[in-house]
Amino acid sequence: MPALCDVSACSGCSACASICPKGCISMAADREGFLRPVVDAGRCVDCGLCQRACPVLHPPALPEQEPQLLAVLNSDDSDRARAASGGVFILLARQILKKGGVVFGAAFRPNHAVEHCAAETEADVYRFCGPKYLQSVIGDAYRQAKEFLEQGRYVLFSGTPCQIMGLRSFLGRDYPTLLAVDLICHGVPSPAVWNRYVRERALKDGGEPETITFRSKEKSWSGYEVRFRYEGAQYQVHHRDDPYMRGFLRDLYLRPSCHRCVAKGIRRVSDVTLADLWGAQKLCPELFDDKGTSLVMLHSEKGKAVWGALASQVRCAPVSQDAIGYNPAAICSVTPHPNRALFFARFADCDDLSALILELTPDPIVKPPSLYRRIRGKLGRMLRSLKSK
Ligand SMILES: Cc1cc2nc3c(=O)[nH]c(=O)nc-3n(C[C@H](O)[C@H](O)[C@H](O)COP(=O)(O)OP(=O)(O)OC[C@H]3O[C@@H](n4cnc5c(N)ncnc54)[C@H](O)[C@@H]3O)c2cc1C
């Protein structure tokens, strides 16, 4: 029976289940709704592959070089409207499709769960655009990506930093045709909480949602709204007024491993990291229009080469590592909300999820500026001391 990583450190990346040659590791939801590996001891042959593929037990090597940091706007406003930040993901995806490649990303299923899927057309890739703030299910995606790579095809695999670490550990080597794209990730909420919230919204709003958008930027990027569209009706509120987003941003129901994430950092195993360039207004006012500005981190030569081909489709400028100070989730894990345990103790039996979230997060959603400045100052000092080493 293999000794997989500690339960609280397991990110659910699924590398162990994907690599098992006997198919005896399945991913099953725990009581909080997060998928975890479950080993069928009777069929396990103790080959040890699952342990070797665990990125927590055996972290893949990081690049030696610091990444190149850029502020970026996709010049096409309709691409940006669909995206969380500056609409960079779709540009990278088109590059891969142009070469006859395959793009992997997180898409809504008809039941509003989120899963990793493959896409070979632009229309299918649009399903990956925009963030889905819950942990997506990897399923067969790593194995499928490996098959395409073995056939010599180009593959763009996008996901959270832990999923990209999992992919690297599963593959065990780099492929010249793989472009691995991760995100700066705050943390992933429980799929069970999301599922319950969607059911509750459907009851309150009177129907099954046709589309759900976590970050509608109709009004602005910084003041983005959550939108559920129903036949003939709509729920659309500022993200601070949406109970699910409130619980997410207050760290009430993130995966335990997100509070001690091993995949955060400036140097990463991905080729490209995508994020919001919070602070764009100050760092590069010429690239701020409140419709979304991306922070792009280029880690590898492959990432830089793909980037070179996009020059005519973007407006961009180099930015310093001060950009990370505006986005602490890049390097620091968040602390669980003090009511996290109480939330999960009451979650299963609660009648009104929104009321429970609001009751347990009475604190303001925006942290006081003094604390924010303290964190930024601390990060700035850390980065400067790293640079001077
Ligand atoms: C759970 C989560 C937390 C995040 N936290 C932060 C943060 O703290 N700071 C920050 O700057 N940015 C964060 N982001 C990233 C940000 O929201 C954008 O996704 C990113 O900047 C890319 O934006 P884009 O405009 O280039 O393209 P978009 O079209 O917005 O990007 C879509 C990309 O995100 C991937 N994606 C969407 N949902 C998921 C998911 N559930 N799991 C895995 N991959 C997913 C898609 O596969 C696709 O690659 C987070 C994203 C997610 C999903």
Instruction: Name every protein residue with a CB atom under 6 angstroms from any ligand 1 atom.
Output: 83-89, 105-106, 114, 128-134, 136, 158-160, 183-186, 188, 274-276, 294, 327, 329
* Pair type for strands 178-183 and 155-159: parallel
Domain total of the chain: 1
How far does the centroid of ligand 1 lie from the alpha carbon of residue 183, in Å? 6
Specify if 314 maps to a domain: yes
Atom in ligand 1 nearest the alpha carbon of residue 84: 30
What number does the ligand 1 atom closest to the CA of 158 have?
A: 49
In a domain, 33, yes or no: no
Is position 21 within any domain? no
Other beta carbons less than 10 A from residue 169's beta carbon: 24
189 is in which domain, residue-wise? 61-389
To test the ligand 1 pocket, which listed residue (183, 221, 310) has its Cβ within 8 A of the most ligand atoms?
A: 183
d(CA 256, ligand 1 centre) in Å: 19
Give pLDDT, residue 366.
52
10 assigned to some structural domain: no
Instruction: Decide if 60 contacts 165 (C-beta within 8 A).
Output: yes
Contact yes or no for 160/254 (Cβ under 8 A): no
Element (H, E) at 27: strand 25-29
For helices 353-360 and 191-205, the axis angle rounded to 10 degrees is 120
Question: Ligand 1 centre and the CA of 239: distance in Å?
Answer: 16
Sign of CA pseudo-dihedral 339, 340, 341, 344: positive
Residue 346 lies in a domain: yes
Q: Are strands 225-230 and 233-238 parallel, antiparallel or unpaired?
A: antiparallel
Q: Where are the beta strands (DSSP E) in 308-377?
A: 314-318
Query: In the prediction, which pLDDT does 258 show?
Result: 98
| Residues facing 25 on adjacent strands | 39
Does residue 386 sit within a domain?
yes
Give the list of residues 6+ apart from residue 358 with CB closer than 8 angstroms, or none: 243, 246
Query: How confident is the model at residue 389, as a pLDDT?
Result: 56
Render each residue's pLDDT in the chain as its tens digit; 389 residues. 788 999 999 999 999 999 999 999 999 999 999 999 999 999 999 999 999 999 999 999 999 999 999 999 999 999 999 999 999 999 999 999 999 999 999 999 999 999 999 999 999 999 999 999 999 999 999 999 999 999 999 999 999 999 999 999 999 999 999 999 999 999 999 999 999 999 999 999 989 999 999 999 999 999 999 999 999 999 999 999 999 999 999 999 999 999 999 999 999 999 999 999 999 999 999 999 999 999 999 999 999 999 999 989 999 999 999 999 999 999 999 999 999 999 999 999 999 999 999 999 998 755 544 455 656 666 766 676 666 55
pLDDT of 368 reads: 44
Judge whether 18 lies within some domain. no
Residue at 340 is within a domain: yes
